[in-house]
Amino acid sequence: MKRADQYDVVYWFTLAWDGYEGMDEGELTESRYTYAHMLESINHYLEKYEKRGAYLEYCSMETSTTYIDLTNKIRSKNG
């Protein structure tokens, strides 16, 4: 397995859920090294935190020199 610094691309995503009057709100931010693993993880966590009303807040593909916002693309795939 490669070390983290050996990957050329990193995919980041943040899922969030809103609380009631500021209670129990939260978010989860994680990274993956492939697009497929990012999608799989997003779907897993959306299902896991469904009762909290979790939603995709942000996701991106990042390299050492640039980033691409993938949020709208992934939201449209997930409905």
β-bridge partners, 10: 62
pTM of the full structure: 0.83
- Would residue 7 count as lying in a domain? no
Question: Domain of 47?
Answer: 14-67
2 within some domain: no
Which pLDDT tens digit goes with each residue over 45-74?
999 988 888 999 999 999 989 999 999 999
**Quick check: is 63 in a domain?**
yes
Band (77; pLDDT cuts 50, 70, 90): confident
Average pLDDT over residues 18-27: 75
Position 21 scores a pLDDT of: 63
Q: Which of 12, 55, 54 is nearest to 37 (CA)?
A: 12
CB contact at 8 A, 47 and 68? no
Look at residue 49 and tell me if it is in a domain.
Answer: yes
Predicted confidence at residue 79, as pLDDT, reads 62
* Over residues 10-36, mean pLDDT: 88
